[in-house]
Every structure is written in structure tokens, then in C-alpha cells.
Structure 1
């Protein structure tokens, strides 16, 4: 059973936000170039920042599949270390040629969507329609409140996904947690760290898998940025909703201050 305090009417065309048991989705102004940059860093991240979850997760999974099958990350490592012949040898062209068109589409579509959503955001702000601020269900409770952007960053640095869980972005937080486990496991990162603590640098270098290791920085960066931005925007949304509520229900009761002070 799902309960909230919002009853939409036919007169309201756009809502600035929606609070559900899985998270708070809202419209706010974004820099289209920043969104496009995140799509270039890792296809799908730009769409996830726009709350386009189905499109974002689809592109994310596509990136993992094509990158691993084409051995793109491994080829990049050989190229950066000057071993271009080895990079050419291991790169799988049957998979790599599939990479280019979807990669370009991810950048273009995220930029275009960011521009369109900025326009919708301005229209929604002018309409200033009511939206729900509280949602309760059988498994979760979600509500608008203020939280610390610094804490969201700190928890994301400890483990990608925990910053999202802190601000109740359940789906994205769970998705990030699952994939950081996969990346760390297949990259043998913890085995390499263990070897480093023992002073065995050669073994640490040998055991690490660069194909999976290169996925980790992008996921870390996205988790930190997404948690920080959404915490800031949720705080703004909370303040705007409180301001609107107080103006609507209490501004009519004006306090009359006497002109003369009685002694």
C-alpha cells in the first residue's frame, strides 16, 4: 500500500518534483556540457544524472559488454605505455566497430536531453504546481529534508553507492554498489592492495587486471558527483517547498507592531 499527500489535478501540466519510496526525482537546471562530458567519460552516466534511468542503465550495460568483448581498456593501457603494436593485436575489430556509433549517440542524446529538460524546468518553475513531499510504502519511507552534501561525498568515497543511499536514491545506489563489487572482484584490486601492503610490488602489478580496473575511477567519480549534486538540489527543493507552504498558509496572518512603545 502506497500513501502520499498529493492529489494531482487536470489544471497542472508540469511538476517540478516527485517523491516516491524509491527516491526523489526532480527537474533542476543542469549544464548540458557537463552532462555530455559524463557521457563521454562513461556512456550512461550523463543520462543517469538527468534521471533517465532506463536509457542510462541500458547504455551503461552496453559499455561494459562492448568494452570487455573488444578489450578496449586493455588496448588503451598498451597505447599509454607506448606498446601500440600489442594494442593493435589484442583489439577485437568486430566488437570495437560497434562501439563508435552508440558512444557518439550517448554524448549527443544526453546533451540534447539536458537542453530540453532545462526548458521544462523553467516552465515548471513558472507554473509552480504542487507536488508530493512524503511517500510511505510497505518497504520504504521517503520525505523531503535537508542533508549534508559533505557527508554524501564522504560516504561515496568510502564506497560508491552509499552516498546515493544516504540521500535515498535507492535504485542508483544499489546499482552502483553492485557494479563496484563486480569491478573490484574481476580487477583483482584487493589482491593487488594486499600484495602492496606486503611490499611485493611486482606481484601486485602482475595480479591486477587492467581491463576491469579502468572502470573503477569513472564509477567513483560519478558516484561522488551525483551524490553531491543531488544532495544540494534536494536541499534547495526542500527550502522552496517550505517557503511556498509558509507563504500559502501563514503569510496572511500579519503581525501588527504598535507604533508607540508603552512604558
Structure 2
């Protein structure tokens, strides 16, 4: 039986298409993944599709950050008010925050290196993957999409870019946290007042601790949507090439590009 499902006949698979999204491994820069964990613990793991670990670290970052007043201390530091920054920090929560923060950076780096090695081995094995998945709730399939459009939708609202490329789990988490951040930071209320010309009132309603979480969230949503669109397009081309070569190419015929045989 020769079908295109991941049927556990290979040691390693490059990708898996399910109704919740397309999960794949590909070469990544470990320093970039680690940097996203520096920006916001959990984001590095979400980029690697390590969802459970990423969700736990993300929730941990939000809760402990607020309890320790890390963002508030950063704001005072940016203003040059170092004594006040020291005053607002809660050292009891901060001592819990630091080890997990360092672990998130280290673990995302280590995992990226491991997955890069696994990807190289899976490329050599070149086992077939499923390219279409249908269930009672969703349909997902490999196709080519516009990475700039994915980034643009994420710019308008974090999570929409992930929905565009069918990363349902990541989209759900990003949208939920975006709504929470919007609500508690009063960002939309501040924007409304700004349009009305009430600049002072718009500044007063903002909650800086929650507001400071937006740069990382927006940056991650845009980067994740763009990067995964590009990689999904590459995966589509690889799967299409493999299918055509297997079913329509004679054994005596070879496709060459320069001196390299594909």
C-alpha cells in the first residue's frame, strides 16, 4: 500500500500535515531562536512547533513578569530613574523568574541544534509525507501562499497571519494573548482618545506594564507568519517535485541543474 500519510515506516519525517496545521522541521539559526526566547520566553519554542513547552513558558513569563514588576522596572530604567526601578522590583518573584528565563533561552538553542541535525538526516532519508488532511472540522493542504500577505495580516492583528497559513494552534494562542494584552493595557482606548486629540488623557489611561509586552508579541507574530509561509512554500515545492519525479519521470531521464542532479 503506497499512500502519502506518515505511517511510521520512516525513522524521521520532515513534515506532517494535519487539520490543525502543517508541522515541519527545517534548518534554523539557533541564535535567532534563542533571541526570540530572550525577547519573550516561549516564543522560541513556538517557532520550533514545540507548542506545549512554548505555552507553559509564555504563561509563566506573563504571570511572573507582572508579579516581579520586571516591565515596570525596565520603564523606569529607560527613563534613567534607577533608584525607582530597584524599588518596584519584587525580589521574591524575581529570583523565581531568572532561572526559568535562562532555561528558556538555553533550551530553545539546544533544541534548534538538535532539530537541525534531525532535518539533515530526514533529508537524506527523503521519506514521503502527507500533503492533504481532511477532518470533520477542518481541511488542510500544502500550497503556495504569499509571505508578505501573511506578515501584513499579522501587522493588523497578531494571529491573523497564522490563520492565513493554517497554523491553528499558534493562531489561537497569539489571538487570545493579544486580546488580553489589548484589554489590560488599554491600548485601543488610548488610540481612540489620541484620534480625538486628547493626548494627555490617552497617555494616562495606558498601563505601561501590559503595553510593554506588545513589541515582542507583534514582532513574533509577523516573523513567525512570514518565516513559516516561506518554509511551507519550500515544502510544497519539494513534495510536488518528489511526486512528479516518482510518477511521471522515466528512470532513464534525469533533470539536471548545472552539474548537480536533482
| 1:111-132 Cα deviation digits (max 9, x unpaired) | 0100000000000000000111
- The Cα offsets for residues 115-157 of structure 1, whole Å up to 9 and x where unpaired, read as 0000000000000001111111110000000000011011000
**Counterpart selection for 1:140 from 138, 141, 161:** 138
* Match among 31, 37, 47 for residue 29 of structure 2: 31
Partner of 1:178: 176
Look up the match of 1:112: 110
Counterpart for residue 238 of structure 1 = 236
CA offsets per residue over residues 217-238 of structure 1, 9 Å max, x none?
1000000000000000000000
| Structure 1 residues 195 and 60, CA gap change in structure 2 (3 angstroms) | same
The residue correspondences of 1:1-263 to structure 2 (distance < 5 A) are 5-6=4-5, 8-10=7-9, 12-252=10-250
1:84 Cα offset (Å) = 1.8
Give me the whole-angstrom Cα distance separating, in 1, the residues matched to 2:170 and 2:242.
Answer: 29
Distance of 1:9 and 1:37 partners within structure 2: 34
1:7 deviates by 5.6
Question: Matched residues in 1 for 2:187 and 2:112: separation?
Answer: 35
Structure 1 residue runs without a partner (length 5+)? 256-263
Gaps of 5+ in 2: 254-262
SS at match of 2:5: coil
Q: Give the Cα–Cα distance (whole angstroms) in 2 for the partners of residues 218 and 211 of structure 1.
A: 13
In 1, Cα distance between equivalents of 2:81 and 2:8: 64
Q: TM-score, normalised by structure 2?
A: 0.93
Deviation larger for 90-99 or 163-172: 90-99
Return the offset for 1:85.
Answer: 2.0
Q: Greater shift after overlay, 70-79 or 159-168?
A: 70-79
* Alpha-carbon separation, structure 2, partners of 1:213 and 1:66: 16
Taking the aligned partners of 2:206 and 2:69, their CA distance within structure 1 comes to 15
Report the TM-score when normalising by structure 1.
0.93
CA contact (8 A) 2:6 2:16 kept: no
CA distance in 2, matches of 1:93, 1:145: 50
The answer to whether the 8 A contact 2:6-2:13 is kept is no
CA distance in 2, matches of 1:239, 1:141: 20
CA distance in 1: counterparts of 2:43 and 2:106, whole angstroms: 13
Distance in 1 (CA, whole Å) between partners of 2:211 and 2:18 is: 35
Greater C-alpha Rg: 1
